[in-house]
Amino acid sequence: MEEHHRENGRFGLYALSLLYLALTVWSAAGVGQSPAAGDALSYLAPAGFGLIAWYSGYAALKRYRGGFWFVAGSLLLALAVLMLTVLYEGYRTADPNTMLGAGVVAALATVAALPLLWRGHQRHRRWWRAAHGFAEFELAAALSPEPAASAENAPPLLYPPQSSWRLLWLMLFSATLYAPFLMYRIAGDIAVLAGSRLNPRRCAWQMLIPLYNFNVFYQVAAEAGRLGQARGMAFKISPALLALLLVVATLGNFAMPQFLFLLSCVLASIPWLVLNGWMNRLRTAQPAQWRAPPGRYSWRQRSVFLAGAPLIAMALLGSKTEFAYFSAPALAAEQRVSGPGADYVLTIPDRHWRVVERGTLYPDTDLELVNRASGEWVVVRISPSQQQTLDGFVDQRQALVAANWNDYEMQEARHFADGSDNIPMSLARYNHKGPVASRDSPLLVATVLTPERVFEVVAHAGNLPNASAAQLVDSFRLVAAGERS
């Protein structure tokens, strides 16, 4: 009967994993239709639901015995992911009430989920230790004082040596977030081998403090270097040079494009690989007991691969616009560009603009330009006029802005489009006026209505009066049939 309940629990975890997988697909499809699809943060829901789906599936595969605690904790984490997407939408549309409410719910759900997951883990751990006969061993050890008497002569208890390629995979899949956990292992083994007062937990969480983490890394590396010298080992790199290498690799990450994040993770992992090599030599220099089987990943390390897959997918999707920018040919200042039909031209104001592939930023565009230096972009859309008036198109765009911004200011000017014969053109500028600055402000929209088609130039401009995107919108002009090449 007990085994029957265990099998039912296992199938329940599989069903839960399929549910989260369906949420992942549903949220990913929604992001694909969203105007913010080019933003990495818009993929938070697919990444979060995908991560929970992986964990639930892996727990079912490994016959995890977390029970109701694990299921309840995962449901609360899913609620937190959902609320974080609502918070992001409120941030994008500058809605402070939505941001506050979603942030509070997400925080409460996360705080409530952590003790539930821990309780489930403790339940699984008790079952696992009982199934492997550890309960009787612990009882015998508690009743007999003999092991304590011989503890001084016993080999030190250390973490097993780990090859460089295994550690590199862990660093890559975690985007180097595994570094604090690796620091905990290294500092703990140094404290055992050197008999120092090095606190591994303190060293681990201090690695999360910017700038100070370099000092922690240097101090631990220096302690490892002194321990190696005391045992007659010569390390080719000094601890100071190794810490400097970590500083250079970290600064290099900020300079590299986002789509090269895997390469930046490799560079940031090099100092850790060297320090891990030092520790491998120290661990194998004398007889030792290993905390885990050598040459294998632990359960916690395997979870890094499950957690890293959504991170990698989110990073690749978020770098779509940046990759398209760097793969596009550079444009010169005063160069003229147009769409496939050559019905209009735009004059490039500076050399930072590039024409990216259509559909990179938004669907159904005729031309897309991106300025990575200023973060500005410009898209051109062409649609049938359907005998509508210019006022009708301007009102439609204003309604879309009002749906996202509760309080905004609109400035509009009208004149005849350059290169045309009495064709009206509307140039509107939208600025958000709420207490939270919107990431989409200001928004420039130029609308040109011809008898057959309507041309709409939409730009996310900078806050400076002479923003490049504003100059691009102002340079829009129609091309007569006789002027097309």
Per-residue pLDDT, 214: 92
CATH number of 323-483: 3.40.1000.10
d(CA 121, CA 64) in angstroms, rounded, equals 9
SS (H, E, C) the chain: CHHHHHHHHHHHHHHHHHHHHHHHHHHHHHHHCCCCCCCHHHHHHHHHHHHHHHHHHHHHHCCCCCHHHHHHHHHHHHHHHHHHHHHHHHHHCCCHHHHHHHHHHHHHHHHHHHHHHHHHHHHHHHHHHHHCCHHHHHHHHHHCCHHHHCHHHCCCEECCCCCHHHHHHHHHHCCCCCHHHHHHHHHHHHHHHHCCCCCHHHHHHHCCCCCHHHHHHHHHHHHHHHHHHHCCCCCCCCHHHHHHHHHHHHHHHHHCCHHHHHHHHHHHHHHHHHHHHHHHHHHHCCCCEECCCCCCCCHHHHHHHHHHHHHHHHHHHHCHHHHHHHHCCCCCCCCEECCCCCCEEEECCCCCEEEECCCCCCCCCCEEEEECCCCEEEEEEEEECCCCCHHHHHHHHHHHHHHHCCCEEEEEEEEECCCCCCCEEEEEEEEECCCCCCCCCCEEEEEEECCCEEEEEEEECCCCCCCHHHHHHHCCEECCHHHCC
Q: How far apart are the first and last CA of the chain?
A: 81
- For residue 10, what are its two tokens? 């296992």
Q: Which letter, b or e, does each residue of 150-185 get, where b requires 16 or more Cβ atoms within 10 Å of its Cβ?
A: eeeeeeeebbbbbeeeebbbbbbbbbbbbbbbbbbb
- For residue 150, what are its two tokens? 């011989």
Residue 45: alpha-carbon gap to chain centroid: 11
Packing angle of the helix pair 212-230, 179-194 (nearest 10 deg)? 40
Compute φ and ψ for 234, nearest 5 degrees.
-110, 120
Model's pTM, two decimal places? 0.59
Per-residue pLDDT, 482: 45
Per-residue pLDDT, 39: 63
Instruction: Report strand pairing: 376-384 vs 344-347.
Output: unpaired
349 and 475 Cβ atoms separated by less than 8 Å: yes
pLDDT tens sequence for the chain (485 residues) = 344 445 555 677 778 788 888 888 887 777 665 555 556 677 788 888 888 888 888 887 777 877 778 888 888 888 888 888 888 877 766 666 677 778 888 888 888 888 888 888 788 777 767 766 554 434 434 444 444 444 456 788 888 998 999 999 988 888 888 899 999 999 999 998 888 778 888 898 888 888 889 999 999 999 999 998 888 888 888 999 999 999 998 888 777 877 787 888 899 999 999 999 999 999 988 888 888 888 888 877 877 777 777 777 777 777 777 788 888 888 888 899 988 888 889 999 888 899 988 888 888 889 999 887 777 889 999 988 877 888 888 888 888 888 777 778 888 888 887 656 678 888 888 887 765 555 556 888 999 888 888 899 998 876 665 668 888 888 888 886 445 54
